A and B are shown apart, each in its own frame.
Chain A
Amino acid sequence: GENVEQHPSTLSVQEGDSAVIKCTYSDSASNYFPWYKQELGKRPQLIIDIRSNVGEKKDQRIAVTLNKTAKHFSLHITETQPEDSAVYFCAASKGSGNTGKLIFGQGTTLQVKP
């Protein structure tokens, strides 16, 4: 089955710096890759996603890149702010979108220091 590895497990940056979180997946049939943000004590929420027919997607300060050949994808956050501090999860699934079977990475705790 699918296996998703996420690195680093913790990341500390200064406010205004960029943060990059990387994930690799094992199943070449996976074609949908979302990123979720989970603030302390709250539920995960989708922040951005990408399909396998797209190499990059941006939404304001957040971007995701996908390398299908290498089977890895990354989350880029620019101009980080203290409110970006949270746990971030990558995930992968097959099918045309989210079919309820998301396989998640282990999570990255991002700390943005003011």
Chain B
Amino acid sequence: NAGVTQTPKFQVLKTGQSMTLQCAQDMNHEYMSWYRQDPGMGLRLIHYSVGAGITDQGEVPNGYNVSRSTTEDFPLRLLSAAPSQTSVYFCASSTQGSTEAFFGQGTRLTVV
């Protein structure tokens, strides 16, 4: 049972480039979320989804797009990377039957 898997673990982008951070879970969880973690600012919610086909914005959605075509996958897209998006990104999943959010191992993104 892999849990929540994020790829890649590390990525360096140039300003203006686009990329997709992948997140997959094999626990059949309804809820999936993306957070970014910056020093002194905790984990900030970017986007979240309560089920396939349903997404909503979190605290800091600007510059990011998401979609949820299947229960298992919740990719995060950066259309035009900016240095301000340098951060560690965490994907998490949870289910209504449990209170715990399970986090992926994180993606460290650097935009130069």
Contacts and interface: CB of A to CB of B under 8 A. Distances in A.
Counting contact residues on chain B (CB < 8 A from A), the size range is: 20 to 34
Contact of A45 (B33, B44, B103): B103
16 contacts: A9-B40, A32-B99, A34-B101, A42-B105, A43-B90, A46-B99, A46-B100, A89-B43, A91-B43, A96-B96, A98-B31, A100-B33, A101-B58, A104-B35, A104-B42, A104-B45
Interface residues of A, number: 25
Interface in B27-71: 30-33, 35, 40-45, 48-50, 56, 58-59
Interface string A99-112: 11111111100000
B92 interface: yes
Nearest to B95: A98
Interface of A: 1, 6, 9, 32, 34, 42-46, 49, 89, 91, 96-107
Nearest to B32: A100
* Smallest CB-CB A-B distances: 9 pairs: A100-B31, A43-B103, A104-B43, A106-B42, A104-B42, A98-B94, A46-B100, A97-B99, A100-B48
Q: Is the interface of A mostly helix, strand, loop or mixed?
A: loop
B96 A89 contact: no
B75 interface: no
B92 A100 contact: yes
Contacts of B45: 101-104
A98 B98 contact: yes
Contacts of B106: 43
B47 to A, nearest CB: 10
B93 to A, nearest CB: 8
B50 A99 contact: yes
B59 A1 contact: yes
Given A98-B98, A99-B50, A103-B45, A44 B31 contact: no
A60 to B, nearest CB: 17
A102 B42 contact: no
B98 A97 contact: yes
Nearest to B94: A98
Contacts of A32: 99
